Chain A
Amino acid sequence: MSDLRGERRDVPAASNHEELTKLRSAGYNVLVDLTCVDYLPQGRSPRFDVIYRLMRLDPATGDDLGRVELHCAVDEAPVLRSAKDIWPAADWLEREVWDMFGVKFADRPGIKRLLMYEEFVGHALRKDYPIAKRQPLIGPKSGDKADSPSFNILRPTVTGE
């Protein structure tokens, strides 16, 4: 338990909250990261892994007493439960996972995007999102130069310049 990455555990997505609660009471007091991996190119089912990285931090000394990594295999269906009642930091991280991968959380039906704008369609870090597809709020979609003749050109003056 003392190596840098810690131990990896695969848990069923439906029981993620119970496992996290157990680990929290076992002393894992820091949610280091909550992220997601899309295994579409591998053709795996379920398609996503939602990953919780936890750390036991000694509050007195600041020492890292060990880490553990929880992998929950999920599809788009809302199976996972939110962990924000255990670690408040999970709130934004879950929003990011929803924003970038489209993985839903069962008890957060009205979850909002974190990074992208509300008008964005799709989930940008999925492997089937086209790499150069852009959804600009203003400006051309293709990346062409805007018609921009207006900048500081010589406007007609009284001298007829």
Chain B
Amino acid sequence: MPLENETVPAGVMTTQLDAALGWARKYSIFQYPFVTACCGMEFMSVAASHYDLDRFGAGFPRFSPRQADVLLVVGTVSHKIAPVLRRIYDQMAEPKWVVAFGVCTCTGGFYNNYSTVQGIDTIIPVDLYIPGCPPRPETVIQGLTMLQEKIQKTRGQFR
């Protein structure tokens, strides 16, 4: 945080608050699982007790976009459901993050055809890509910790 802007003496205070907010946010992720395909099985396994996403504070799926922080897009997204996904993203309150879970959501995977969206980043902004078909639970956990680092660094005011 630059301190050279002397017209804002409260700058230091804001920095500390952002750090505290980032710490609180990264360990209390409410995720919205947008599960459309077989990656959902892998999501269930990583969320269940063996790998236990709850250890990282992300154990609480909310099935309302208004209450969710992280949109987990899990599985192939077709052109038919793409407007629904966009609507859900738009309904989420800021700050919000999007995770593309699995190679289908990252790039379309091997579905290069008439029906499949070639990467959900053509519809909504994506913060984290987790590759794999499906990703191993360890990959998901690594991705989650990377997302937590990103959340910790997030600063600013939100709508």
Q: A138-B86, A146-B123, A150-B125 are in contact. Are A155 and B114 (CB under 8 A)?
A: no
Could you say which of B29-37, B45-53, B93-101, B135-143 contacts chain A?
A: B93-101
Do the beta carbons of B79 and A117 come within 8 Å of each other? yes
A134 within 8 A of B: yes
Interface of chain B: mostly helix, strand, loop or mixed? loop
A25 within 8 A of B: no
Chain B residues, Cβ within 8 Å of A150: 125
Chain A 105-119 residues near chain B, CB threshold 8 A: 115-117
Do the beta carbons of A138 and B82 come within 8 Å of each other? yes
A61 within 8 A of B: no
Of the candidates A144, A146, A149, A150, the one having the most CB atoms from chain B within 10 angstroms of its own CB is A146
A145 to B117, CA, bound (A): 11
A111 to B120, CA, bound (A): 32
Per-residue interface assignment for chain A, residues 117 to 161, with 1 indicating a CB less than 8 Å from any chain B CB and 0 otherwise: 100000010000101111111111001111011111111111111
Do the beta carbons of A152 and B121 come within 8 Å of each other? no
Q: A138-B82, A152-B154, A157-B155 are in contact. Are A132 and B8 (CB under 8 A)?
A: no
Do the beta carbons of A139 and B122 come within 8 Å of each other? yes
A137 to B150, CA, bound (A): 31
Q: Which residue of chain B is the closest to A123 with respect to CB atoms?
A: B114
Contact of A148 among B14, B118, B124 (CB under 8 A): B124
A106 to B157, CA, bound (A): 61
Do the beta carbons of B156 and A136 come within 8 Å of each other? no
Do the beta carbons of B122 and A161 come within 8 Å of each other? no
The interface of chain B, by Cβ under 8 A from chain A, is 1-2, 5, 8, 10-11, 14-15, 79-80, 82-83, 86, 94-98, 108, 112-115, 117-119, 121-127, 150, 154-158
4 nearest interchain CB pairs? A151-B125, A148-B125, A155-B156, A143-B118
